[in-house]
Amino acid sequence: MANPLIQRELVTLLRQRRMVLLQCGLATAFALLVVIRWPTEARMALALTGSRSQEVFRLFAYGLLSALLLMLPVFPATSIVRERNSGTLALLLNTPLGAVRIFLGKLLAVLGVAGLILVLSLPAAAACFALGGISLTGDLLAVYLLLALVALQYSALGLLVSTYVTSTDAAVRWTYGLVLALSVLALAPHQFLQGTGTTLADLANWLRCGSPFAALMSLEGAGDLGAAGLVSSGNVAGRFVLISLGLTALFSVWTIGRLNHTIFDRARNQGRISDDQSLAVRAARRLMFVVDPQKRSRSIGPLVNPVMIKEFRCRRFGRLHWLLRLVAICAVISLGLTYATTTSTIDWGVDTIGAILVMMQVALFVLITPSLASGLISSERESGGWPLLQTTPMSVLRIVWGKLLSVILTLLLVFCATLPGYIVMVYIEPAMRPQVERVVICLAATAVFAMLLSAAVGSLFRKTAPATATAYAALLAVCGAPLLVWLGRDAPFGHDTVESALLINPVAAALSVIRLTGFRDYDLIPANWWFLGIASVVCFIVLLVQTYRISIPR
Mean pLDDT of the region 518-546: 88
Write down the mean pLDDT value for the chain.
Answer: 77
Rounded CA-CA distance 428/421 in Å is 11
**Range in 1-5, 33-37, 168-172 with the lowest mean pLDDT:** 33-37
In DSSP terms, which residues pair with 489 in a beta bridge?
493
What pLDDT does 535 receive?
A: 92
What pLDDT does 452 receive?
A: 92
pLDDT at 223 over 60: no
What pLDDT does 237 receive?
A: 82
| Exposure on the CB side of residue 3, measured as CA atoms within 13 A | 18
**Range in 293-297, 309-313, 463-467, 483-487 with the lowest mean pLDDT:** 293-297
- Cα dihedral angle (158, 161, 162, 166), rounded to 10 degrees? -150
Who's near 53: CB < 8 A, 6+ residues apart?
Answer: 47, 128, 131, 132, 133, 134
| Exposure on the CB side of residue 96, measured as CA atoms within 13 A | 2
**Cβ(417)–Cβ(400) below 8 Å:** no
What pLDDT does 288 receive?
A: 62
Domain ranges of the chain: 4-264, 303-551
- pLDDT tens digit string along 123-152? 878 877 777 777 777 778 888 899 999 999
**Cβ(88)–Cβ(9) below 8 Å:** no
- pLDDT tens digit string along 19-29? 777 777 777 77
With CA atoms as reference, report the closest residue to 156 among 98, 235, 77, 102: 77
Mean pLDDT of the region 336-362: 63
pLDDT at 248 over 90: yes
Cα distances from 254 to residues 160, 177, 519, in angstroms, run: 7, 19, 42
Mean pLDDT of the region 217-245: 66
Is the pTM value of this prediction over 0.75? Answer: no
**Cβ(67)–Cβ(117) below 8 Å:** yes
Mean pLDDT of the region 349-355: 64
| pLDDT band, residue 331 (cuts 50/70/90) | low
Task: Count how many residues are written for the chain.
Answer: 554
Rounded CA-CA distance 413/431 in Å is 27
Mean pLDDT of the region 78-94: 86
**Cβ(62)–Cβ(481) below 8 Å:** no
